[in-house]
Amino acid sequence: MVFVFDLDGTLLLKNYRISENMTGIINKLDRDGHVVIFASGRMLISVKKIILSHFKKEFPVIAYNGSIVWHPEKGIIFETGLDFDTSVKIIQFLREKKIHRQIYINDKLYSEEDNDEIKMYARHANVDYYLCEDLLELIKDEKRKATKILAIGEPDMLDKIKKDLTDFKLSVDIFKSMKNFLDIVPRGINKAVALKVMLEESGKENEKIIAFGDNHNDVPLFEVANVGVAVKNAVKELKEVADYVVPSNDEDGIYSFFVNFFPELID
């Protein structure tokens, strides 16, 4: 079987750690020959840091909500980004609305402002950040295409920003990865598409998929999984497509799923 774990709000506790219970189960899944994949809106470097802080090995990663797919033995097997013209329109719009915007290039985080939002994000993701005078100048070179644009702000404001950007009819997909994070990625890119790439590369495309999540960016994943498990703190839209709803991430809800349905995986 294939087990796909979202991180923030799902597998991670509020201290951004994986519980000892789930660390043990993931190790047993791996020992028993199951496929374990971590799928997140986070940067690749951020996800890898979390994995290495809990396990003695690396696992496959879907990062940036699907814009990068990374395999421990093969490196990056899929990568895409936003075209320049699209990035210009989005960045200029976010500037006009005075919404914090940041971009990711070659797995590095860039911002035009050294503000509370970028500092908070860097702490959250445990990554460094880099300042530049103009994000648009930074991405003029085709080789420096933005993997993703992230807007940070109040949830209600981000809902309005999402509607406005959707009305532009750009070739992007827009969704929240957390209540105050609005992710903007190339059209057609999501965790489900990335999972298909990963499984085809690994020859596991016919395996049963069990996915765990909490937010809007997990909806496509649940739509292709055989079993979708949402935590209690998940958004309503995800619960509506979930097969099971378990206790919250801070109640170790994912562990309770294994207790009830896979007790043989508990050491």
Average pLDDT, the chain: 94
DSSP structure string for 110-136: EES---HHHHHHHHHHT--EEE-S-HH
Tokens of 208: 């049963």
Per domain, the residue ranges of the chain are 2-79+189-265, 84-186
Topology of domain 84-186, CATH:
3.30.1240
Residues 41-88 pLDDT 10s? 999 999 999 999 999 899 999 999 999 999 999 999 999 999 999 999
User: Considering the entire predicted model, what is its pTM?
Assistant: 0.92
Phi and psi based region of residue 16 (left: phi greater than 0; alpha: psi -120 to 50; beta: remaining): left
Q: Is 48 helix (H, G, I), strand (E, B) or coil?
A: helix
Give me the numbers of helices (H) and strands (E) for the chain, helices first please: 10, 14
Mind listing the pLDDT tens digit for each residue in 82-133?
999 999 999 999 999 999 999 999 999 999 999 999 999 999 999 999 999 9
Task: Give percent of the chain above pLDDT 90.
Answer: 88
pLDDT at residue 142 tops 90: no
**68 touches 79 (CB < 8 A):** yes
Q: Does domain 2-79+189-265 have CATH number 3.40.50.1000?
A: yes
pLDDT of 229 higher than 90: yes
Q: Helices 20-31 & 253-261, crossing angle to 10 degrees?
A: 50
Distance (Å, whole) CA 109 – CA 128: 7
pLDDT in tens, 246-266: 999 999 999 999 999 989 887
Q: Which H or E run contains 45?
A: helix 44-54
Q: Is the pLDDT of residue 267 over 70?
A: no
What integer pLDDT is reported at residue 177 of this predicted model? 80
